[in-house]
Homo-oligomer: A and B are copies of this chain.
Amino acid sequence: MKVAISGKGGVGKTTIAAALTKIFAQSGGTVYAIDADPDACLAAAIGIPEDEALKIKPVVEMRDVIRNKSGSGAFYTLNPKVDDFLDDYSYKLGNIRFLRMGDPKKGGSDCYCRENTFLNALITSLLLDQQDTVILDMGAGIEHLSRGTARGVDMMLVVVEPSRNSLNTAKHVQRMAGDLGIARIGIIANKIRSDKEKEFLLQSFPDNAILGFVKFSESIWANAMKSSSAAELEGELLVEMQKVCLKISGEVGGYK
């Protein structure tokens, strides 16, 4: 199954994406963890050392390799072959395969339209075994939705924190994910520090729309200053996110 994680900047998308990646990886299948944000930090969050992460070639570079091999043929005619290329562009960590969309660029040089278009083609073309999972950590905000980068995922997760602004973003995400034909949308409430905050979020969505409530974590905050920011997945975050994974797989399938 293929799942994208979205939401306003700073709500904790990468923390949630890393937790989902680790938990689904424990179920045995391959998990493709894809950082779709040019301002990336998913690699560190799943435990890839910084110097190793810098060596990973961004998948957008695959485009020209495939074009050269296929002549001018359309990318999608090569779908069954895309796995042949992935080894060169992914970092293996147990049964996690990490990929990243693109590199930082020179100021004033270019947008990331090409990267987003190629990533969408790649996601669409990934043929998964029943147990395999794709977790996409999207960029902050809504442009990835207007671009349609995650079109073709089975579920769009929206991370919210107890703020009006993050709810406004979530509303845009829900609408735009609907435009993209993404049938399933789930909310994950993050950084909850009181019952009042939980109640505020509960009242903002229909019953059962929120798949899980993750408490604000002092240890994640304290850990954020370290050079590798891969906080251990443990305690309440682990327990709550395991429940979330079961709900996701109950809706979409693929998790045992």
Footprint of B on A, CB under 8 Å? 8-11, 14, 37-39, 41, 44, 104-113, 116, 139-143, 145-148, 151, 162-165, 168-169, 172, 175-180, 197, 200, 224-227, 229
Chain B contacts of A179 at CB under 8 A? Answer: 106-109
Cβ-defined contact, A141 with B225, below 8 A:
no
Tell me the complex Cα distance, A12–B164, Å. Answer: 14
Chain B contacts of A44 at CB under 8 A? Answer: 164-165
Cβ-defined contact, A225 with B176, below 8 A:
no
Chain B contacts of A109 at CB under 8 A? Answer: 146, 148, 179
Tell me the complex Cα distance, A168–B140, Å. Answer: 16
Chain B minimum-CB-distance residue to A143: B112
CB < 8 Å neighbour of A139 from B105, B107, B141: B141
CB < 8 Å neighbour of A107 from B39, B141, B180: B180
Name the residue among A38, A110, A142 with the largest chain B CB count within 10 angstroms. Answer: A142
Query: Given A109-B146, A176-B104, A224-B164, does the pair A141, B8 have CB atoms closer than 8 Å?
Result: no
Report the minimum CB–CB distance from A109 to chain B (whole Å). Answer: 6
Report the minimum CB–CB distance from A216 to chain B (whole Å). Answer: 10
Chain B minimum-CB-distance residue to A10: B10
Chain B contacts of A162 at CB under 8 A? Answer: 224-225
Query: Given A197-B225, A229-B163, does the pair A148, B8 have CB atoms closer than 8 Å?
Result: no
A-B contact pairs, 20 of them (CB 8 A): A8-B9, A9-B9, A9-B39, A39-B143, A39-B168, A41-B168, A104-B142, A107-B179, A108-B147, A108-B148, A109-B148, A110-B146, A111-B147, A140-B140, A143-B143, A163-B224, A164-B226, A164-B229, A165-B229, A197-B225
